[in-house]
């Protein structure tokens, strides 16, 4: 039985390359191309595997592109369980413009999942045994709004711990079910579910702590971009600043952050150590080009440079919260 299982309903093949300049109409000559398996849960599984964790990825795959993604995961040694779908797995394109340092991302919405295919996902989850179950990434067109809430309930009834990384209605409605051990919203996503505009770590810490204490969520890891990240539990709040690194690409940094955090928690590490490892993994991924992910040696080196700060936002004034979704 794997310790960690991930679910990716809408995976992608990430096709990345570099070009001197991106201009309309002109033929853009690219170089240093690479393809990687992608999508939230897929990336989480890849990083957990790289860091030595026992993980299996559940992925919905279809068409020739689905077969290619499966082959890419095989090359990396990631165990997986495939849910076959009729539509072709999507391909995303990332172009790094060397003249300006800008990165262009082209991400299709992906294939529509039928009700039968969604039920196949539910069945696969019901058959899965693990300690931690991570649902991560955007959902494919046609997927019902109760998809993640139903999976969270299934996972918790089986005695496993449910981890979520998504956005919008799928985030807020799943959190409302009180079946989530850990969720990883950005500061903007947290603001949308509490009905406030949040600016800076302190405001985010207050909102997250209030949410954890009153809404049945075990922990919230709130990413703050270049300002760092928070990990909020009912008992304590930790803040971590990212190390100074030369960023080559931000693609996959959030997935790497979540992967390392779940792995650390599954290994019984303290919340501050989990936040340190997560921050190091996100920063290590930022060092890599395109959609490449972190390397263990970089994670280890950055981990030693990082420290966390225990903060207590209870003295800050709590404004009344408004729910953007019932």
Which of 257, 294, 293 has its CA nearest to residue 38? 293
From 15, 255, 273, 315, the catalytic residue = 255
Location of structure tokens 């992910």? 293
Query: Catalytic annotation on 255?
Result: yes
Alpha carbon distance 18, 167 (integer Å): 29
Q: Which residues does 274 contact at the CB level (< 8 Å), separation at least 6?
A: 231, 260, 261, 264, 265
User: Which residues participate in catalysis according to the annotation?
Assistant: 255
């Amino acid at each position: 039985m794997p310790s960690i299982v991930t679910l990716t309903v809408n995976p992608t093949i990430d096709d990345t390359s570099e070009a001197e300049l991106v201009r309309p109409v002109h033929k853009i000559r690219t170089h240093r191309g690479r393809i990687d398996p992608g999508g939230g849960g897929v990336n989480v599984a890849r990083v957990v595997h790289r860091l030595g964790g026992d993980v299996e990825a559940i992925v919905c795959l279809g068409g020739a592109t689905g077969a290619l993604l499966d082959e890419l995961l095989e090359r990396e040694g990631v165990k997986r369980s495939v849910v076959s779908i009729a539509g072709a797995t999507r391909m995303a394109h990332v172009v790094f413009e060397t003249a300006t340092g800008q990165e262009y991302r082209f991400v299709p919405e992906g294939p529509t999942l039928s009700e039968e295919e969604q039920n196949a996902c539910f069945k696969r989850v019901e058959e899965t045994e693990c300690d931690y179950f991570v649902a991560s990434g955007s959902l494919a067109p046609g997927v019902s709004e109760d998809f993640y809430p139903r999976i969270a309930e299934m996972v918790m009834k089986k005695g496993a711990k449910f981890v979520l990384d998504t956005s919008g209605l799928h985030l807020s409605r799943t959190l409302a079910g009180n079946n989530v051990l850990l969720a990883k919203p950005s500061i903007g996503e947290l603001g949308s579910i509490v009905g406030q505009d949040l600016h800076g770590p302190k405001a985010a810490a207050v909102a997250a702590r209030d949410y954890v204490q009153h809404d049945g969520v075990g922990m919230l890891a709130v990413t703050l971009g270049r300002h760092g990240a928070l990990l909020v539990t009912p008992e304590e709040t930790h803040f971590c600043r990212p190390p100074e690194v030369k960023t080559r690409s931000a693609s996959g940094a959030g997935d790497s952050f979540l992967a390392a955090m779940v792995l650390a928690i599954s290994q019984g590490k303290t919340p501050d150590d989990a936040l340190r490892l997560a921050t190091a993994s996100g920063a290590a991924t930022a060092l890599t080009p395109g959609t490449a992910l972190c390397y263990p040696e970089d994670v280890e080196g950055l981990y030693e440079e990082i420290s966390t700060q225990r903060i207590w936002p209870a003295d800050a004034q709590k404004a009344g919260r408004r729910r953007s979704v019932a």
